Structure 1
């Protein structure tokens, strides 16, 4: 079977224009940032590329503290103590401390990957083997004119096979590792980190092996059940810090005073069992959902029953009993 690939025309930069703290741009229809063709076997599918994500966090400018005017960044030569124009700069690679190899723009251009704008799919892998850690950026893929039926067929085939396509995408002078997967009756493109760009979790100290008491496991399971939901709903969450900044800006514009919030107390480290008990007691009730099958009795944590003080048994008067027996005899 021949390899599959995508030929893409036009630029589709991931960078976004500068944003101001309060201004919220109006919602607009999706706009294509590139076009191309997916080739799979003897099938050609014309497609369009769309920006999938755009950060909305607040941003600030650096101002002069005394007069409030915006500052400009300049390039300063520490050796000659002079301001350098960008036209007088050259790129350098530091191969040793304070030792550089210089490159001109022409030399770097010659080292860039050939600008073919081709996304070549080289293999298909099970979707559940893809680690989210490798995903860096995301773009939507949509069908171009005349490619709707074939585009949808590829999406449904990948969905049915539970596979993700792995490929290479040469753009902006760099050969990028990408994933193409089915998404909401269509396709989506993920630009990924290479393996040497992802640090190993094995370097993280996680402590030794632990054995937990049945009551600890039972309380931990109960806490998870109380906070359990059927699906991830990102629309339920907002950037609280950005909201506070916007509110503070509005107050400052209106001449109102912005009060400083008190510092939150540091979390107190308490006994694990006690912490689980308090967490379960304080957790909100879980939303109504389908009843879950009860675990077999052999897998359930043993019930913990609080026992009261042991009742005192009546003392036997053995000496009096013996005297009665002797008198009767």
Structure 2
């Protein structure tokens, strides 16, 4: 299925305007979702009830409001809200270039891709090549749906990433946690560095890892579909906090354990990358057809 764009934008690069299309870069539909049912198996329908009258309010009678004081609202009509959204700009204005690693990942919000639209291929490729050559990324301003956004545009192999950023007041400071700084010895630091070097990789390879929790839930769903009893996993034993007597000895044991298990872990990772292990399914709906449909009861009229 061809990718579907979310919006058509114009990327302003000096006096050059690059027509681009915006696409999602992540898949948020991979989570296993459960429906809310009655004990008889009927799907439940969400309703909104007025706090004053305790009566159900139909959607066509609902309006949106902003609470400026306790229980005090200003009401916006659908046309007024639409007018606010129409104030959004399709122009993404580049305001600065910074080193590629000049943006702390803590400011990363939603991730998108941008691809050239009609007649945008040449300037798009030029911008990408120039940033890749200089090791720079672009910082740009963008307004959408009544809110201003800052974005980072960075080059990757095959195109450009459109990284929406958080503002400073949207990120909490770790200073507020008052983290205690504790001195460490040279011996402890040396062993910790060795442990890091032993487990170091050139880069994060997402294909070597699986969503084990999602797979466990899907397996339980399959067991339910097949009429089998779900067996609870064995609880994982966790060492009580604050019980490490000798930190150096614990680090040495970690290094020894890492040397013994590294080849096996590497082999498993290689097998997974080669597709020898069964890949997790995208959805549990594939086997849903094997289940007899639960008869729905006719809704009782009030």
| TM-score of the superposed pair, with normalisation by structure 2 | 0.77
Residue pair 2:110, 2:164 contacting (<8 A) in 1 also: yes
Matched, 1:179 2:179: no
Q: How far off is 1:240 after superposition?
A: 0.5
Larger gyration radius, structure 1 or structure 2: 1
The counterpart of 1:277, out of the listed 230, 252, 269, is 252
Displacement of 1:77: 1.7
1:252 matched to 2:227 = no
Output one character per residue of 1:160-192: Cα deviation in whole Å (capped at 9) or x when no partner.
222221112222232222121111142111111
CA distance in 1, matches of 2:97, 2:217: 45
Which residue does the alignment assign to 1:131?
A: 104
Compare 153-162 and 271-280 and name the one that shifted more: 271-280
CA distance in 2, matches of 1:106, 1:149: 40
CA distance in 1, matches of 2:17, 2:84: 31
How well do the aligned residues superpose, as a CA RMSD in angstroms? 2.2
Residue 126 of structure 1 contacts residue 162 of structure 1 at CA under 8 Å; is this kept in 2?
Answer: yes
Question: Would you say 1:60 and 2:57 are equivalent positions?
Answer: no
1:117 CA displacement = 1.5
Partner of 2:214: 242
Q: Does 1:193 align with 2:138?
A: no
Q: CA deviation at 1:155?
A: 0.6
Question: Does structure 2 retain, via aligned residues, the 8 Å contact 1:156–1:185?
Answer: no
Instruction: Confirm or deny: 8 A CA contact 2:12 2:92 kept in the other structure.
Output: no
CA shift in 2, pair 1:120/1:43, >3 Å? closer
Q: 3-state DSSP class of the match of 2:52?
A: coil
Residues 220-274 of structure 1, C-alpha deviations (whole Å, 9 max, x = no match): 1121122111211011111101101111111111111111123322323322233
The question of 1:46 aligning with 2:23 is answered: no
Partner of 2:116: 143
Q: Residue 104 of structure 1: CA displacement?
A: 2.8
Q: Give the count of matched residue pairs.
A: 258
SS in 2 for 1:129: coil
2:8 — aligned with what? 35
Q: Is the contact made by 1:32 and 1:49 (CA closer than 8 Å) also made in structure 2?
A: yes
Mapping 1:1-329, distance limit 5 Å:
28-55=1-28, 56-64=30-38, 66-112=39-85, 114-208=87-181, 210-268=182-240, 269-271=243-245, 272-284=247-259
Give ranges in structure 2 of 5+ residues lacking alignment.
264-302
Contact 2:66 2:75 in 1 (8 A): yes
Change over 3 Å in CA distance of 1:247–1:87 after alignment to 2 = same
More displaced 10-residue stretch of structure 1: 88-97 or 54-63: 88-97
Q: Deviations over 1:10-61 (max 9, x none)?
A: xxxxxxxxxxxxxxxxxx3434343344343343433232221112121111
How much does 1:129 deviate?
1.7
- Structure with the higher helix share, 1 or 2: 2
SS at match of 1:120: strand
SS at the partner of 2:236? Answer: coil
Gaps of 5+ in 1: 1-27, 288-329
Q: Return the structure number with greater relative CO, CA threshold 8 A, min gap 6.
A: 2
Q: Distance in 1 between matches of 2:222 and 2:116?
A: 43
Per mean C-alpha deviation after superposition, the further-off stretch among 231-240 and 107-116 is 107-116
**Mapped contact 2:137–2:152 kept (Cα < 8 A):** yes
